[in-house]
Amino acid sequence: MNFGLNIISVLPLAVVQVFGAILGLLAYLGSKQYRSLFKPQYEAVVNARKLPFKLWEAVRASGMLFSDSLWIWRNPKKALAITAVHNWNVVQDAMSEGKGMIILCPHLGGFEIIPRYLANHYPATIMYRPSRQEWLNEVVEAGRAFPNMHFVPTNLNGVRQMTRALSKGEAIAILPDQVPSGGDGIWAHFFERPAYTTTLPIRLANRHNTPAVMFTARRNSLGKGWTIDAKRLDPFSDDANIAVKELNTSIENAILVAPEQFIWSYNRYKHPAGAELPPSV
């Protein structure tokens, strides 16, 4: 595995992205389960929002999302050099309030570049879900290591560390499109379907009126890096059932920046063990 990562580290980004696109195609064509998740989820959103149907572009981009991440891990300085940022003043204004900042970024494009760009300016504590495979955890943890970035697991200890980071006026990062564990979320519509949605960023934001900022990292043309955009969200409702709808709407808007670059193979609508049954409508 390390040998493969070392090869990736010396290849140009464009070559790595072509390789990723091929992997995306192979995964789609070779796995019925992958197709059964990917196509219906992508197609439903395209139809509901009356978007152009670009299935094969989305399939290729799904592989590029993986290859982008690997290349960014191995070449952070090169990756930062080809990253453009819009609305950086949004970040500066949020951090100037002294309450910290909640970074929200869905699995889209080169999302792994976002915390690295932030960490060049502010300390960032990032929540992640460890893999069940130990060898993969080692690869991910080694690849994600970067100065000023601190990773914490999705458990009570991780939440405590994130709370402490906010109390010091630092930034924290959460992937809001992941399905939380049973008991840690609320069902709310996500692209017109009930999806079990995390309440963690809402609770952290509402605790001390902490700024929440949604980020996207849209992939530019082949080998040309990424464009980060930042949008500060309005304060969440004190009603948790309304707040999760607000959160999902903000995630939807972020995905629609580049819908073909989202991770449509992820089962966003699964029913986690321990969660109440989803609503029937």
pLDDT digits (tens, 9 = 90+) for 171-201: 999 999 999 998 899 999 999 999 999 999 9
Min mean pLDDT across 32-46, 139-153, 187-201, 214-228 is at 139-153
- Cβ(232)–Cβ(213) below 8 Å: yes
pLDDT of residue 146: 75
Min mean pLDDT across 26-30, 133-137, 144-148, 156-160 is at 133-137
pLDDT of residue 155: 87
Min mean pLDDT across 8-22, 83-97, 136-150, 210-224 is at 136-150
Name 157's Cβ contacts closer than 8 Å, sequence gap at least 6: none
Query: Which tokens hold the place of 176?
Result: 């809001």
Task: Give the pLDDT mean for 33-43.
Answer: 96
User: Given pLDDT bands bounded at 50, 70 and 90, which one contains residue 245?
Assistant: very high
Is beta strand 185-190 parallel, antiparallel or unpaired with respect to 193-198?
A: antiparallel
Is beta strand 83-86 parallel, antiparallel or unpaired with respect to 101-104?
A: unpaired
| pLDDT at position 258 over 60 | yes
- CB neighbour class for 61 (10 Å; exposed up to 12, middle 13-18, buried from 19): buried
pLDDT higher for 62 or 139? 62
The pTM (predicted TM-score) of the whole model is 0.92
- Cβ(253)–Cβ(244) below 8 Å: no
Q: How far apart are CA 155 and CA 27, in angstroms?
A: 31
Task: Give the pLDDT mean for 90-116.
Answer: 96
| pLDDT at position 277 over 90 | no
| pLDDT at position 220 over 50 | yes
**C-alpha atoms less than 13 angstroms from C-alpha of 222 in its C-beta half-sphere:** 11
Which residues in 212-242 are b (16+ Cβ under 10 Å) and which e? Answer: bbbbbbbbeeeeebbbbbbbebeebeeebee
- Cβ(115)–Cβ(103) below 8 Å: yes
Q: How far apart are CA 126 and CA 65, in angstroms?
A: 19
Q: How far apart are CA 96 and CA 11, in angstroms?
A: 39
Task: Give the pLDDT mean for 79-100.
Answer: 96
Name 264's Cβ contacts closer than 8 Å, sequence gap at least 6: 37, 38, 39, 41, 42, 58, 62
Task: Please report, rounded to a whole number, the percentage of residues in the chain having pLDDT higher than 70.
Answer: 91
User: Given pLDDT bands bounded at 50, 70 and 90, which one contains residue 281?
Assistant: very low
User: Given pLDDT bands bounded at 50, 70 and 90, which one contains residue 55?
Assistant: very high
Q: How far apart are CA 162 and CA 127, in angstroms?
A: 8
pLDDT of residue 15: 96
